[in-house]
Amino acid sequence: GRHSMLPRHVQRLGRDWITHWNGSQILAFNSPVSSCMRWAGHYPPWASFPLPISADFSANWRFPPFFGPWRQFQSSNWHLDNYTQSCCFHLPNPSMKSEGEEPLTKKRRLSGQDDTSTSEQETNLSNRKEVSCLSAAQNEEKHGSKKGTIKRHWEYFCQQSKTMKIAENKGSDQSSTGTEATFDFTVMSYNILSQNLLEDNSHLYKHCRQRLLFWTYRFPNILQEIKELDADVLCLQEVQEDHYRTEIKSSLESLGYHCEYKMRTGRKPDGCAICFRTSKFSLISSNPVEFFRRDIPLLDRDNVGLVLLLQPRFHCKANAAICIANTHLLYNPRRGDIKLTQLAMLLAEIASVAPQKDGSFCPIIICGDFNSVPGSPLYRFIKEGKLNYEGLAIGKVSGQEQFPRGQRILSIPIWPKKLGISQNCVYEIKQQQKEENAGEELEAAKPDNTQEIVIASEKLSSKLRHHFKLSSVYSHYFPETGIPEVTTCHSRSAVTVDYIFYSAANDDTAAQPGAEDSFCGGLKLLGRLALLTEKDLWTVNGLPNENNSSDHLPLLAEFRLIER
């Protein structure tokens, strides 16, 4: 009756259509049906003619009232019948997959996918009811290979590694392969994307269907990825504490891992975990590192690190050990001073854990999300072991921004003396003893004028150093094309920020120049799981997607322990 001028099938829109939630958006408009909006060139199946397109698209639509806060909507049980009088309009999947998303024509142009096949896939998805995200994930797993999967190949650095990898895949134990002087193992670094951080930063995932972002969908995918890659050591970042306690820890323990976890010190309920196969290693020590210091204004962030000392169970000397470190440094691109200080604290803890009886360091592996790009000053400091930061702008330390705002220069020194860490990134034991004996501190400092002068000169130094000779597992660029490798890809960026660094042995042909055998033996890189380009990832709609449920890719490397 209200719109008698409209065709009959348009008048019936408000009362006859039924929908189900499958990740598509429900849009409600303030104006009548005659001014409903949609993307040009895409018509719903019931429309036999083009609908009018308003010029002020953004001004004419709003979310219906039942779209409350994210968590409230997840647990709500709404019915469409209550809202038939408010002019609701359903944009079908071929038009738009989530609020604020670009038309799929743009996505196809970015990904190079065929329009027809994509449209058919989307239509099939829209016709499939989603009872729960978990059951959808299980159903896909049951039917074999998933759509839109990108295969990552294994890159070998020696023929013997390839032979042993094949033997391991056939189920043979390492004790029956290789020689008694070698110990081979694999290490994964993986930022699994905390659900809490995902929901707090939903603008980064506008390209994703909503159902793919539920934890009940994501966790089975992440666990399946871990099972398939089958690493001996897992270094995980953004591990949410409640999920770790209720399901992650128990799931990994059922796969034969022992788990160590360090939660962030602030309100963010996630942290870092290192999990290792008990059949391969035993735990010597677990050493959490908190980067927050209440008495130091610079260190007001809640990032953490974790350092384990592990002992291989066979093929090694009785005192053989491997140091595994895991961290997630501060994200803020304009706080390079905090990033460098956090890194120095992690390196100081490694330097206190890794020394052997003869004074050398045991082999070291450092994994994590460093929120810094290849070639940045922070990255070069890790690999080269030195950094002169005099005149360096704080915003350029991590290289995350090509044109950082502000030109504030790093202070000299970056962190205060009372942190107890020297410019060589080791703990100053004398300084710690002075802090413990505060009453004797002034008297002990007065007679030793020489020591005061040495400390003062170091305090004014703008040169950072560390004692480790580290190489990166990945080269960050594809040698044939020069195209950058990517470890994270979402709506805002696609870059490398995740790394596996290791102390290379002398005969490691994969090690970068400058990596010397200054350790008790060393590590030889046998192989790695190849990374992808940004273009590769957008062919499957970036990250997360139906098969990869984090906005980061897992990094995986195989090492051989070389003993002296």
Torsion of CA 539, 540, 544, 549, to 10 degrees: -140
Residue 106 maps to a domain:
no
Q: What is the pLDDT along the chain (564 residues), one digit of tens a residue?
A: 444 455 544 444 444 443 344 444 433 344 333 333 334 334 344 444 343 444 444 444 444 444 444 444 444 444 434 433 333 333 333 333 333 343 333 333 334 444 444 444 444 444 443 334 444 444 444 444 456 788 999 999 976 656 555 445 544 445 444 444 589 999 999 999 999 999 999 999 999 999 999 999 999 999 999 999 999 999 999 999 999 999 999 999 999 999 999 999 999 899 999 999 999 999 999 999 999 999 999 999 999 999 999 999 987 777 899 999 999 999 999 999 999 999 999 999 999 999 998 889 999 999 999 999 999 999 999 999 999 999 999 999 999 998 988 889 999 999 999 999 999 999 997 445 545 655 555 555 555 554 544 444 444 689 999 999 999 999 999 999 999 999 999 999 999 999 999 999 887 777 765 444 344 579 999 999 999 999 999 999 999 999 999 999 999 999 999 986
Rounded CA-CA distance 488/369 in Å is 10
Residue 525 maps to a domain:
yes
**What is the chain's length?**
564
| Angle subtended by helix axes 115-126 and 104-111, to nearest 10 | 130
Torsion of CA 191, 379, 366, 484, to 10 degrees: 50
Burial group, residue 496, by CB count within 10 angstroms (0-12, 13-18, 19+): buried
Residue 233 maps to a domain:
yes
Q: Which domain covers residue 212, as residue numbers?
A: 180-425+462-563
pLDDT attached to residue 518: 42
Instruction: For residue 269, give the amino acid letter.
Output: P
pLDDT attached to residue 141: 45
Residue 444 maps to a domain:
no
Residue 271 maps to a domain:
yes
Burial group, residue 284, by CB count within 10 angstroms (0-12, 13-18, 19+): middle
Residue 342 maps to a domain:
yes
Residue 359 maps to a domain:
yes
Domain CATH for 531: 3.60.10.10
- Residue of 316, 429, 306 whose CA lies nearest to 363: 316
pLDDT attached to residue 559: 98
| Terminal alpha carbon distance of the chain | 90
Strand, coil or helix: what is 61?
strand
Residue 249 maps to a domain:
yes
pLDDT attached to residue 148: 72
Q: Are 330 and 339 within 8 A, CB to CB?
A: yes
Strand partners of residue 324: 308, 365
Burial group, residue 15, by CB count within 10 angstroms (0-12, 13-18, 19+): exposed
Q: Distance of CA 68 to CAs 63, 90, 211, 291, Å?
A: 9, 18, 17, 36
Question: pTM of the entire structure?
Answer: 0.71
- Residue of 489, 486, 497, 487 whose CA lies nearest to 533: 486
**353-386 per-residue burial string, b: 16 or more CB within 10 A, e: under 16:** bbeeeeeebbbbbbbbbbbbbbebbbbebbbebe
Number of domains the chain is built from: 1
| Angle subtended by helix axes 215-229 and 133-142, to nearest 10 | 30
Q: Under the phi-then-psi rule, with left for phi > 0, alpha for psi from -120 to 50, and beta for the rest, what region is 304?
A: beta
Query: What values do phi and psi take at 395, rounded to 5?
Result: -75, -10
Q: Distance of CA 484 to CAs 192, 368, 532, Å?
A: 22, 19, 8
Rounded CA-CA distance 393/460 in Å is 17
Q: Which residues contact 119 (CB under 8 A, 6 or more apart)?
A: 94
The DSSP string of 270-324 is: EEEEEEEETTTEEEEEEEEEE---TT-TT-----EEEEEEEEESSSS-TT--EEE
Query: What values do phi and psi take at 34, rounded to 5?
Result: -65, -15
